[in-house]
Amino acid sequence: MKSIAIIYELFLQQNPDPTYSDSVFPAVFLATFFTALGAAVVFYLLINRRSAGFHTRKHWAIVLGLVNTLAFGYSMFISKFQIAALSFDSYMMIFGVINFFLAGILFFLFSLVLKQFSIYSKKVPF
């Protein structure tokens, strides 16, 4: 759990509230990991082994944008829910942005692994 917190705390100041490192960061990371993996599996192994039509870089970028948006959104909401805050604060916003990029990186890495198993997107994103 601590190691997951380190990933976020590389870019975020350590929050005095231990809830972040104990439960928010691990939960958000797991959700982000599986969101990126799930999106890559759906894109490469489900859609792009079945038929063409959603197979280009443009379509990959749409999925990437979706993964990023989801990651940004649920990082904010999980934080607010776990901390039991009444509103979003700047820490949550920065955390959301970092998770936004982390989701993108994970999706990119899964793409590199899974693209070779697809039929229609073997060279997507490159």
Of 63, 70, 60, nearest to 122 (Cα)? 60
50 contact partners, CB below 8 Å, separation of at least 6: none
| Token pair recorded at residue 64 | 């990437």
Our finding on whether 117 is near another protein (CB under 8 A) is: no
Contact residue for another protein among 14, 19, 57, 85 (CB under 8 A): 57
27/72 Cα distance (integer angstroms)? 13
What does 63-82 look like in DSSP terms, one character per residue?
Answer: HHHHHHHHHHHHHHHHHHHH
Name the one range near another protein by CB under 8 A: 8-16, 24-32, 97-105, 112-120. Answer: 112-120
Our finding on whether 110 is near another protein (CB under 8 A) is: no
Q: Which is nearer to another protein, 54 or 77 (CB)?
A: 54
| Token pair recorded at residue 112 | 């590199």
Q: Which is nearer to another protein, 68 or 121 (CB)?
A: 121
Our finding on whether 121 is near another protein (CB under 8 A) is: yes
Give the binding site for another protein (CB under 8 A).
51-53, 55-58, 115, 118-124
